[in-house]
Chain A
Amino acid sequence: MGKSSKDKRDSYYRLAKEQGYRARSAYKLLQLDAQFNLFKDVTRVVDLCAAPGSWSQVLSRSLITKGKDRDHNVAASETGEVQQVQSAPKVKIVALDLQPMTPLPGVITLQADITHPSTLPLVLKHLESDSANVDLVVSDGAPDVTGLHDLDEYIQAQLLLAALNLATCVLRPGGNFVAKIFRGRDVAELYCKLRIFFERVTVAKPRSSRGSSIEAFVVCENYTPPKGFQPSLENPIWTGPTRQEDIAGQVAEVSLDDAPNGRWVAPFVACGDLSEWDSDATYQLPDTDENGVKRVSIDPIQPPTAPPYKTAIEMRRKLGNGGKID
């Protein structure tokens, strides 16, 4: 999981730039949808940890935009040239992140903490709903990894469980939940917990996700909470005790009929066709495109958010001495 020395500019990076996506991760959701038909009959979606917004872009383009040349149309509209977006009236997409996000057509972007109890009424308000009737909750959130695998996997699991808690508050019975997961040493415990809420839990690896990466996506279908379950952001489950009475449940393992020790391995599906780009492969691109035009480097659509060490770099530059301070 440590940062690899691999060149990050793979085929999907280039493709994302060409098709106007804010990040290459857009293709992961597209390939997941192609496999699981996630967007079928979906009108209400919540996108968690959405920044910079490539999944919201996919949702917006897939659920709202109609038209012959939709890719071109939306790409243009995002850059502000074409304002006219033909949207299906009923579709609601709410995107949440702690970081500010550049607006997207047809997407309600909210800057909010997904674990905070006040976020739920905010989301419901924007969905113009007072009940849980969301069809799909998606989350592509991941922490900046430290290199301590157990800690990184714990933090990622907490992000996923926070997303699950919000999902249990907004999903309609039968709704679906898709989230990024790190397939580390305790992943079977997470699968088991998800299985308690969903009829079908599958782990999927889109071809656009690198084989060398620990990431995969859990696709949880048909939300069927256990009888008597009370969803709550005040007392979320499995994210540390919020009351004395939570302790017993959190020091013990969860269990299922077919996983008495709380560990269950979800079936695996690789998605995306073999004919699509392989994110692990190195491609020899011709210098010119099919029209004989010389390829030029395209700037990223959405520059990456400022890294936390931005000021440190500026300080170093100011001090000179080849960046050495001491």
Chain B
Amino acid sequence: MKSRSYVGPVTSLAFLGDDLLVGCGSELKFFTLSDSRYSLQWRKRVFKRERIQGMQQSTHTESGELDTSLLLWGGKRFQIIRLSDLKNPNFSMSIEEEEISAPDWILHSVFLESDDKIPTIAIMTAHNTVLTYRHDLGIELASRYKWYPSPERCLLYSATLIIDSTSPVRNNLIVMAGTVFGEVLLWKLDTSQDKAPTKLGLSARYLSHEGSVFGVAISPDFSYAASCSDDRTIRLWDIRAGTTNSEGCREVREPLAIGWGHQARIWGIRFLREDQGKVRIISFSEDLTAKVWSLKSDGSKSLLCTQTFKNLHSASGKNIWSLAVHPSEWRFVTGGADGGVASWNMPDGSHEDPAIKETIANLLDVLPSPASGMGKPTKDEPRKYVALGSRSFVITMSSGWLLHCSLSQSGLEWQKVGFWPQIKNLSAMGAGKFMANGAYNYITAMGDNTGKVMLQTWCQGGLLTTADSSEEDWTQVCDSRPSDILFSHYQDTEDPCSIFAAVTTFKPDDPIRLLRIKADTTGNSTIQQSWSLIPPDTFPCTTILVCVFEGRILCLAGSRHGALAVYSITADNSIVNPSKTWRHVHDDESVTSLALKATTSLSDTGNDPSIELLLASTGRSGAYKSHKLVINATAQNYELIETNAVYPAAIPRVENHRIISLNQDEDYEIVYGFRGRDFVIWNQTLGLEVASYDCEGGNRSWDFSFGTDDDTRDEGLFLFTRSKKCYIVEFKQILRNPLLQTPFHGREVKSLAVSSQGIIATGAEDTIIRLSSLNPETDGLIPLTFRKTHTTGIQDLVWSPCGGWLFSSGSVEEVYCWKVNAGIKLQPGTVGMLQEAVYDVSTDTLPDLRVCGLDVATVHADSGDHYGFLVGMVRSDSSIKLALYDIADKKFTTIAEGFYKTSCLLQIRFHLTSYGSILMLTAGTDGHVTTWDITEMMGTQGITAGPTISSGSTVSILSLTSSQLLTPSPAKLSREQWIFSQPIHQNSIKVLEIFDPEEDEVLMLTGGDDTAISVSRVIFQQNANQPGRTIGGMTTKLVERAHASAVTAITALGTKTSDSNLQKQGLEFLSSGVDQQVKRWSIEFSEDLSIGSVEVIDDLYVNVPDVSSLALIDRGNGNSRIVVGGVGVEVLEL
């Protein structure tokens, strides 16, 4: 076995000029910067077992060439490597020979100045001890070290070593240490002398932290020290404060300043350059933030948090483990527990934030003075906004004035467009855009309270014609006061000047007036045609989409109550009834946008042409959804299929979305909306927040537009009113991708399952389910999609045998069914994941009722059609629930329930025998495996073991003999159904796998907390005395101490050939556990098929603590991969 790829916590980062070194597990990665984007140049494994916890560099000249030496450390190991060697693609290193063993855990290390070319370093250990090491490979290891006495031996969590550049003595070290008991220690050590001193004293002891000190730092000028702690504070110290006691040590109990604000433990701090004489610090924490602090100049003894970088990498999980500041200090990078690495801009007093700019416009300066007699400016205020792209906008004023504003480098350029008395009582306004002469122009429509509408045509610079403010500008469109004017954002490439808009009124039964507008680049846009769309019952229209294809006009409308309606529009009929209405598409919440992603003609020939539209929609339910609308033209039949639904947790109220092409290959799905007081822009593709702005909520007059032209597509313009003032917020760099390395789960993977299509589903303690695929070349994980729907950590995941459905379980009785829609090619954005159903929980839920294990079997209806699945659930209160999942009704029905004993159950597996019995195996914390014969009980519900279908792999099918369940209430599971209950392990059975080369003779593999692995042959046969009942027996071989700690994962590799003769072939399987070893085992069978030897044939260490699962990806041709899940994921080659 060999490691192929790894994703896991990023524990160290360092800049080398603009280039970046990333320590991820045992792997060192090198990124270079070009065109303001980082790209991975190489990755090399530098330790056998350790994570890279820290790195230092030193430059030196060798035969005229400048080179850099790297010092990398982790645990009790370190490496000294030349960067030029690492960069050389032909360089190969033997980790085993070259990694150097230190006598204790290393907390920090530095290069010392050396007389010769032999590198010398100083090492700070976790016992507050310094050792020097001279990298002279000619002498034995222990003699390369020099030990120095410790001023105080105690256990540390953090330390930093600095060479005192102000000292006349070379290699004089300043040592700063943070102890597990909250003390910060300062001491000095002269390493230039040949003889180590016999005794050393502390220089200072800084006291007041109320918890372990996880990070310490010294300012570049040696004036200040800073520490951060378990107590959620940062403390800044005057390094020289305090008076010395008799032992020469200063005891300081008063920090210079304290910084409060992190919500969890703070892992590290760095000093930044002073800004206008103010000390500045950056910190990173368990709470997923980085904060910039500056010392208040008011002498208040507090550090002010000047900037917070929230939800770095991903909005879930915990822990930023590493941070490095770019030499320019305008940027920094962070590395997280989620394996993500991201780069952030760090504006300071002299550099403004390039991503967001706020302007507050005083409109009183813009409007005519009261002397002109028009309006009363003192009472005037902005009413409605329309953003025309990202660099201009239009405002209507309560006085009746219409204003246009252009944004440019020099500021705001206002134009008074004109005055219309109708604008005073304007009730609706909307805008659409059209392409003309290679640039976008805009049409606005305003509706007054008599039902008249005025159209205006704009370019970015302003109105295309001069306004003469006449009554004739207004055209009667509807009979009553319009409530909204909704533009369709579909662009007909063949007729780009044809634009559709819908005018709605406040009367619920009024028809929706659909207008076809002929846009005119000279400014005289006109209404070309109009229709009355009859709304379905209770259908206040909130958004429309009009598509024109093959001479047909199709209008889709969304309602305030989550419904969609479709209208087929022809030129002849001016009154159109809905062809079909779908309710609750967005639950009962407003549909906020509709867009067309693609159109496909399913069959161009034949008598039954049908067209498929791929749609995207957003809703106030918080959802971003994809649908397939299949239209059968001849039959006038419409079918709407939801293919994907995402609820971006960062935006509970989704307003709209846009798919923006980054380049030819990459599209970003950008969603925007509101979260509490904040307006939020979210990148759904990357799964991270682009920007947020506190606008005190979305219940006010506002508008947002993305930039429309190529050079502004990275921009957005957000407008709103606060205290009668117009706020203009410009967002830049919307498409900026801060991620150098894509994040994975923020906490440990608890379950991992691979579908028959090769989709890897992982569920973690961070409550997220992720779907990934394997890159065929690098074997790295390609993230496909993720869902944060569970409210508790994931317990188990099981795919349906067909791979179309995924079942997941968590605590508080959560069991969900997901429909996974994947194309042939697994790519991000092509895999849909819908939460189809939730298993009904009992009304009297126990707070800690975990659903620990799941299994799924396919069920066919008696017609042979796929009916659904039998879902088995075992839970922590020893209960078992069996449910039938109906894929048509998308509903679970409990068909059987009962208890095992009182101990927690962890595992469940179904098994069907050749003679038609339905069996079930369960296991739990009591170490027993229990087999159940549930044939008879399932029969009472009308379920029998069906035929076995062999299509490549064998799939066992259950049959539902009638169209519905025979008894409405669940059957009882009880001891009567036990075939046998066999003690195998001393306590928890952490994994149970069954491998059935022949159906009535099963090979069962289990792994336990007791470090043992069992291999059992289980034989089932019909009871001669009780036909239909199964009797069985098993022989078990127990391998004790199979791993050094709990065995948590086992997967069978199968026989080497298709020959099912076990005796000839034997069987191989893999196991893993908390000892982080993956072992490959071989089972030999003796002539009577009893189990002979069970032996380890391969053994590999993986950098995945808390291994919970193993899965095999069989790519054929002996090209299998093993995916190991725990804290991170490692992919192995067999």
CB interface residues, B 80-122, toward A, < 8 Å: 101-105
Among B147, B904, B1043, the residue within 8 A (CB) of A281 is B904
> If A154-B126, A183-B1045, A240-B129 touch, does A282 touch B877 (CB 8 Å cutoff)?
yes
Tell whether, in the assembled complex, residue B986 and residue A270 are in contact, meaning their CB atoms are under 8 Å apart.
yes
Min CB distance A98 to B, Å, is: 7
> If A2-B765, A242-B153, A325-B260 touch, does A211 touch B988 (CB 8 Å cutoff)?
yes
Question: Does more than half of chain B's interface fall in helix, strand or loop, or is it mixed?
Answer: loop
Is A227 in the interface zone, CB < 8 Å from B?
Answer: no
Min CB distance B898 to A, Å, is: 14
Q: How far is the CA of A4 from the CA of B852 in the complex (A)?
A: 14
Min CB distance B811 to A, Å, is: 6
Q: How far is the CA of A284 from the CA of B899 in the complex (A)?
A: 12
Is B1019 in the interface zone, CB < 8 Å from A?
Answer: no
Q: How far is the CA of A247 from the CA of B125 in the complex (A)?
A: 13
Is A258 in the interface zone, CB < 8 Å from B?
Answer: no
CB-nearest residue of chain A to B1077? A185
Complex interface: stretch among B496-504, B678-686, B1007-1015:
B1007-1015
Tell whether, in the assembled complex, residue B142 and residue A251 are in contact, meaning their CB atoms are under 8 Å apart.
yes
Q: How far is the CA of A6 from the CA of B850 in the complex (A)?
A: 8
Residue of A5, A7, A187 ringed by the most chain B CB atoms within 10 A? A5
Which residues of B have CB within 8 Å of A5?
Answer: 765, 767, 792-793, 811
Which residues of A have CB within 8 Å of B230?
Answer: 144, 308-309
Among B101, B125, B848, the residue within 8 A (CB) of A7 is B848
Among A144, A282, A310, the residue within 8 A (CB) of B846 is A282
Q: How far is the CA of A240 from the CA of B148 in the complex (A)?
A: 12
Q: How far is the CA of A312 from the CA of B214 in the complex (A)?
A: 16
Which residues of A have CB within 8 Å of B127?
Answer: 239-240
Tell whether, in the assembled complex, residue A250 and residue B104 are in contact, meaning their CB atoms are under 8 Å apart.
yes
Is B903 in the interface zone, CB < 8 Å from A?
Answer: yes
Tell whether, in the assembled complex, residue A251 and residue B101 are in contact, meaning their CB atoms are under 8 Å apart.
yes
CB-nearest residue of chain A to B990? A211
Is B337 in the interface zone, CB < 8 Å from A?
Answer: yes
Tell whether, in the assembled complex, residue B103 and residue A149 are in contact, meaning their CB atoms are under 8 Å apart.
no
Min CB distance B985 to A, Å, is: 8
Q: How far is the CA of A211 from the CA of B1048 in the complex (A)?
A: 11
Q: How far is the CA of A284 from the CA of B9 in the complex (A)?
A: 39
Question: Does more than half of chain A's interface fall in helix, strand or loop, or is it mixed?
Answer: loop
Interface size on B, residues (CB 8 A): 95
Which residues of A have CB within 8 Å of B211?
Answer: 307-309
CB interface residues, B 290-328, toward A, < 8 Å: 291, 305, 308, 318-319, 321
Is A265 in the interface zone, CB < 8 Å from B?
Answer: yes
Among B101, B146, B229, B793, the residue within 8 A (CB) of A308 is B229
Tell whether, in the assembled complex, residue A280 and residue B904 are in contact, meaning their CB atoms are under 8 Å apart.
yes
CB-nearest residue of chain B to A7? B848
Which residues of B have CB within 8 Å of A298?
Answer: none
Is A267 in the interface zone, CB < 8 Å from B?
Answer: yes
Which residues of B have CB within 8 Å of A325?
Answer: 260-261, 305
Among B9, B180, B1075, the residue within 8 A (CB) of A184 is B1075
CB-nearest residue of chain B to A216? B1045
Tell whether, in the assembled complex, residue A240 and residue B877 are in contact, meaning their CB atoms are under 8 Å apart.
no
Is B878 in the interface zone, CB < 8 Å from A?
Answer: yes
Is A22 in the interface zone, CB < 8 Å from B?
Answer: no
Is B987 in the interface zone, CB < 8 Å from A?
Answer: yes
Tell whether, in the assembled complex, residue A247 and residue B147 are in contact, meaning their CB atoms are under 8 Å apart.
yes
Q: How far is the CA of A184 from the CA of B125 in the complex (A)?
A: 21
CB-nearest residue of chain B to A191? B1044
Tell whether, in the assembled complex, residue B141 and residue A184 are in contact, meaning their CB atoms are under 8 Å apart.
no
Tell whether, in the assembled complex, residue A6 and residue B848 are in contact, meaning their CB atoms are under 8 Å apart.
yes
Tell whether, in the assembled complex, residue A309 and residue B232 are in contact, meaning their CB atoms are under 8 Å apart.
yes
CB-nearest residue of chain A to B987? A270
Q: How far is the CA of A250 from the CA of B308 in the complex (A)?
A: 44
Which residues of A have CB within 8 Å of B146?
Answer: 244
Tell whether, in the assembled complex, residue B1106 and residue A1 are in contact, meaning their CB atoms are under 8 Å apart.
yes
Q: How far is the CA of A269 from the CA of B927 in the complex (A)?
A: 12
> If A185-B1105, A246-B103, A247-B142 touch, does A211 touch B1009 (CB 8 Å cutoff)?
yes
> Would you give the 0/1 interface string for A1-25, flagging 1 where the beta carbon is closer than 8 Å to chain B?
1101111011000000000000000
Min CB distance B149 to A, Å, is: 8
Tell whether, in the assembled complex, residue B231 and residue A308 are in contact, meaning their CB atoms are under 8 Å apart.
yes
Is A315 in the interface zone, CB < 8 Å from B?
Answer: yes
Is A241 in the interface zone, CB < 8 Å from B?
Answer: yes
> If A143-B180, A251-B101, A311-B231 touch, does A188 touch B1075 (CB 8 Å cutoff)?
yes
> If A149-B1127, A183-B1046 touch, does A268 touch B902 (CB 8 Å cutoff)?
no
Is B732 in the interface zone, CB < 8 Å from A?
Answer: no
> Would you give the 0/1 interface string for A300-325, flagging 1 where the beta carbon is closer than 8 Å to chain B?
00000001111110011000000101
CB interface residues, A 232-273, toward B, < 8 Å: 239-244, 246-248, 250-252, 263, 265, 267-270
Which residues of A have CB within 8 Å of B105?
Answer: 154, 240
> Would you give the 0/1 interface string for B817-846, flagging 1 where the beta carbon is closer than 8 Å to chain A?
000000000000000000000000000001
Tell whether, in the assembled complex, residue B765 and residue A278 are in contact, meaning their CB atoms are under 8 Å apart.
no
Is A76 in the interface zone, CB < 8 Å from B?
Answer: no
Is B916 in the interface zone, CB < 8 Å from A?
Answer: no
Min CB distance A214 to B, Å, is: 6
Tell whether, in the assembled complex, residue B811 and residue A6 are in contact, meaning their CB atoms are under 8 Å apart.
yes
Tell whether, in the assembled complex, residue B181 and residue A98 are in contact, meaning their CB atoms are under 8 Å apart.
yes
CB-nearest residue of chain B to A308? B211
19 pairs across A/B with beta carbons < 8 Å? A2-B1106, A5-B792, A7-B847, A146-B265, A150-B50, A150-B1105, A183-B1074, A184-B1045, A185-B1105, A211-B925, A248-B141, A282-B875, A282-B876, A308-B182, A309-B211, A311-B231, A312-B260, A316-B260, A325-B260
Given contacts A98-B181, A309-B231, 17 further A-B contacts (CB under 8 A): A6-B848, A144-B212, A155-B126, A184-B1075, A207-B987, A239-B104, A246-B103, A250-B103, A265-B1011, A265-B1044, A268-B986, A268-B1011, A280-B904, A308-B182, A309-B232, A312-B233, A326-B308
